Amino acid sequence: MTPIKTLAGTLALAAATLFAALPAQASDLPDLAGRTVVVVTENAYPPLQFIDPKTNEQIGWEYDAMAELAKRLNFTVEYKNISWDAMIQAVSDGQFDIGMTGITIKDDRKEKVDFSDSYMVSESFMLVRGDETRFSDAKTFAAFADGLIGAQAGTTPFYTAVYSVLDGNEQNPRIKLFETFGASVEALKNGDVDTVLTDGTAGKGYVEASNGGLKMVGEALGTEEFGFIFPKGSDLVAPINAGIAALKADGTIEALNKKWFLDYKMGE
């Protein structure tokens, strides 16, 4: 699945057929009997999950998907928030049942947590200011000696910056670290860094909300798959995977893609 590039017409058709497919799918899914499931997120990764600037509510693609899973699998969601740098360890320690924040499925992370099946595939791009002309892709950025990249330590964009854009040195002073993805984007807007690496999903949301202030440049720097995370051995993995499969099969995933990546405009 390549959600960002899916044709709008296909998405609309999927949305139109969604409700007709729900009863048959739901009847085949596991029943968690109203169980409370504690889901932790960062709320710093629009349009997947973030705080609505108009209502101060937690919203986004992942919230909608989790709500749909809860309805079909019959569980109650309790949301908690934590910073990205603490999330994987906290879930691994069993402090939370599920972690969601656009988490890339990676083998080294599987040593600490279990992953769901992929619910989204995205490609990494360079997010820059709308008037940027000094570089246009990873190669020209690497040659631009004064250029700075904003990133969160330990994230896929951080490692992509190190190994696919720069010189493989994780201590390279051209990488400026921030506590959240949103903070790195603010630094970009303010001119404190010159690019932020983002998957196409979040990048599209920021570009569309920027009124020309931001754009994405260059070719895709890699493909990543997103999944929810669980403590090792969690009995929730199989039911959630069954739910994800149902959301894919009946068009819900595509309908959410249309809502959040084609129709939604942050701040309006």
Residues 251 and 184 grouped into a single domain: no
Classify the phi-psi angles of 138: left when phi > 0, otherwise alpha if psi is within -120 to 50, otherwise beta.
alpha
Residues 245 and 215 grouped into a single domain: no
| In contact, 126 and 203? CB cutoff 8 Å | no
Residues 35 and 152 grouped into a single domain: no
Residues 161 and 218 grouped into a single domain: yes
Per-residue pLDDT at 12: 38
6 pLDDT band, cuts 50/70/90, is very low
Percent of the chain with pLDDT over 90: 69
Q: Flag whether pLDDT at 1 surpasses 50.
A: no
Residue-level length of the chain: 268
Residues 35 and 94 grouped into a single domain: yes
Does residue 268 belong to any structural domain of this protein? no
Per-residue pLDDT at 224: 86
Residues 115 and 48 grouped into a single domain: yes
Domain limits for position 161? 122-223
Helix (H) or strand (E) holding 248: helix 237-249
Residues 134 and 238 grouped into a single domain: no
Residues 140 and 195 grouped into a single domain: yes
Per-residue pLDDT at 46: 81
pLDDT in tens, 89-109: 999 999 999 999 999 999 999
CA distance 42 to 234: 21
17 pLDDT band, cuts 50/70/90, is very low
153 pLDDT band, cuts 50/70/90, is confident
Residues 173 and 211 grouped into a single domain: yes
- Weakest mean pLDDT among 8-17, 153-162, 178-187, 230-239: 8-17
Does residue 170 belong to any structural domain of this protein? yes
Does residue 47 belong to any structural domain of this protein? yes
| CATH classification of the domain holding 177 | 3.40.190.10
Q: Flag whether pLDDT at 144 surpasses 90.
A: yes
Residues 177 and 128 grouped into a single domain: yes
Number of domains in the chain: 2
CA distance 145 to 225: 31
Does residue 66 belong to any structural domain of this protein? yes
pTM of the model: 0.72
Per-residue pLDDT at 59: 96
Residues 128 and 113 grouped into a single domain: no
53 pLDDT band, cuts 50/70/90, is confident
Q: Which of 72, 67, 60 is nearest to 102 (CA)?
A: 60
Structural tokens at position 254 = 């595509």
Mean pLDDT of 104-120: 96
Instruction: Calculate Rg over the CA atoms of the chain.
Output: 19
Residues 258 and 238 grouped into a single domain: yes
